[in-house]
Structure 1
Amino acid sequence: MSLPVCYLVVSAASAPEPITDLVRLLQADGWRVAALSTPLGTRFHDPGELESLTGEPVRVRFRLPGTGESLPPPDAVLACPLSFNSVNKFALGLADNFAVGVLCEMAGYGVPTVVVPQCKPQLAAHPAFRRSLETLRAMPPVTVLHDPGASGEHRAPSWREVVAAVRAAHGDRPAGGS
């Protein structure tokens, strides 16, 4: 039996814990992880480390039709950490880079998607960001993990809470049990 696939979408936002720890926790929960990144996200998260953990290259760019290999179809998507810019693009459907384009497309397919925004409190207070979170929360396959009352820049939940949210979005069962 093959493992269910979780797309991990990273962007130009600092993670409160090493992103490699998140990948390991997802894998321990029974997921095959395929990493995608926004172009600037590669400056925040080491594609080489992610590739060595997942066994697959980190996808950053659209591939030309008929070239390269397609990603395996996902059972769940985790956008974590998702920057202020990428949250707003996703909510508005602005697919100007591969990672955000995949988020938009997978939401259209109804793939369970967990979004973990990470930005400065000053950006989180911006009205556009608040509207974007409302839009994302209103999308049936999307779960947003964001506590506007949390202090400081580290509003993100623990990686264990994130993995539990992915499991719950996928049907509240360990990934290997699907």
Structure 2
Amino acid sequence: MLGVVGSAAGGVEALRTGLVEPAIDRGWQVAVTLTPTAGQWLRLTGEAERLEEATGLPVRYEPRLPGDARPHPQVDCYVVAPASANTVAKLAMGLMDNQALTQVGEAIGTLSLPVVVFPRVNAAHARHPAWEHHIEALRSGGVRVVDEPDVWPLYEPREAPAGRDLPWDAVLDAVEASAK
């Protein structure tokens, strides 16, 4: 079971076709959780419903009430893609202020539960003085961060080539390598 967590970053609109359906094709059962803003975006476009159809499971973006059954089976690996700079910072600092961050934050603290994060950031985000500390904090917690320059070259804000797809195959390859 692959827990896919999407945040409000460019590319989340292609989560189903870029990550979820290819993961299913590779043999994964997939459960999707979204940050609140990503959940709003994908509900408004009808994409949340298409994700539910593809996975056979509800898309989570709100916490469940006490006593409610868990809507997703136990996860064997989490992947956070795309991860906004905000999501990366919160995960690194242990801030779990929404359903998506709570799940992944708990997973980071769980021994032998792989977590893969793809930061969907630009060069300005990566130059922020706290950025390297955030990445190091995640790595020290055992998180596989997909941030290789040949996989996702960083551009200055608003200078990236138009129509650039996220490196979904590289993210899935990292998931498969981490889940072995």
TM-score (norm 1): 0.85
Cα distance between partner residues in 1 of 2:13 and 2:126: 20
Which blocks of at least 5 consecutive residues in structure 1 are unaligned? 172-178
Aligned to 1:176: none
| Matched position secondary structure for 2:109 | helix
The amino acid that maps onto 2:105 is C
User: What is the deviation of 1:114?
Assistant: 0.5
Q: 1:15 aligns with which of 3, 11, 14?
A: 11
Cα distance between partner residues in 2 of 1:73 and 1:92: 24
Aligned to 1:63: 64
- Contact (CA 8 Å) 2:36, 2:61: kept in 1 or not? yes
| RMSD between superposed Cα atoms in Å | 2.1
Cα distance between partner residues in 2 of 1:156 and 1:124: 19
Aligned to 1:162: 171
Deviations 1:47-71 (Å, cap 9, x if unpaired)?
A: 1221121111111111112114342
Q: 1:16 to 1:109 in 2, by over 3 A?
A: closer
Instruction: Show structure 1 runs of 4+ deviating over 4 A.
Output: 153-157
* 1:95 counterpart = 2:96: yes
Cα distance between partner residues in 1 of 2:13 and 2:177: 21
Alignment of 1:20-169 (within 5 A): 20-21=16-17, 22-45=19-42, 46-110=47-111, 111-140=113-142, 142-147=143-148, 150-152=153-155, 158-169=167-178
User: What is the deviation of 1:108?
Assistant: 1.3
- Contact (CA 8 Å) 2:57, 2:72: kept in 1 or not? no
Cα distance between partner residues in 1 of 2:149 and 2:130: 14
Aligned to 1:175: none
Which blocks of at least 5 consecutive residues in structure 2 are unaligned? none
Cα distance between partner residues in 2 of 1:37 and 1:167: 21
The amino acid that maps onto 2:127 is A
The amino acid that maps onto 1:40 is T
| Paired residues, number | 166
Cα distance between partner residues in 2 of 1:132 and 1:50: 30
User: What is the deviation of 1:16?
Assistant: 8.0
Q: Among the aligned pairs, what percent are the same residue?
A: 36
Cα distance between partner residues in 2 of 1:73 and 1:52: 19
The amino acid that maps onto 1:67 is D
